[in-house]
């Protein structure tokens, strides 16, 4: 492995750990009072972990795994979480008299 790829791996690992810690962090009190809490930030951070993981898979010479991680982990999961979060918010704000 060339020194360029080694340095890139180190930077990406640090960024991945920071993003993962951000994904599981407790939201601050003023954020936790809003209607969805800190969930959008956590979803974005999880998508970031997926993005960096796919670049790391690419450095490990697995382009097919990297492409799957890009499409599923960073794309579809993030969209799906935001879609469900929007549905939940609409349900909660329109009154919960039919459940």
Partner 1 sequence: MVEILVYLAATLVGLALLLALYRFVKGPSAADRVVAFDVLTIVGITGIVLVALAEGRGIYLDVALVYALLSFLGVIVIARYLERGL
Q: By C-beta, is 22 or 99 nearer to partner 1?
A: 22
Residues that bind partner 1 (CB under 8 A): 2-5, 7-8, 11-12, 15, 18-19, 22, 40-41, 44-45, 47-48, 51-52, 54-55, 58-59, 61, 63, 66-67, 70-71, 74-75, 78-79, 82-83, 85-87, 89-90
Task: Calculate ∠ Cα 76-81-84, nearest 5°.
Answer: 120
Rounded least distance, CB 69 to partner 1, Å: 9
């Amino acid at each position: 492995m060339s020194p360029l790829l080694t340095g890139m791996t180190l930077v990406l690992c640090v960024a991945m750990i920071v993003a993962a810690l951000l994904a599981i962090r407790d939201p601050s009190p003023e954020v936790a009072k809003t209607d969805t809490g800190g969930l959008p930030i956590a979803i974005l951070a999880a998508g970031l972990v997926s993005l960096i993981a796919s670049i790391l898979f690419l450095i490990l010479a697995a382009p097919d795994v990297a492409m799957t991680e890009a499409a599923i982990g960073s794309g579809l999961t993030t969209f799906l979480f935001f879609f469900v979060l929007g549905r939940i918010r609409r349900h909660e704000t329109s009154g919960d008299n039919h459940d």
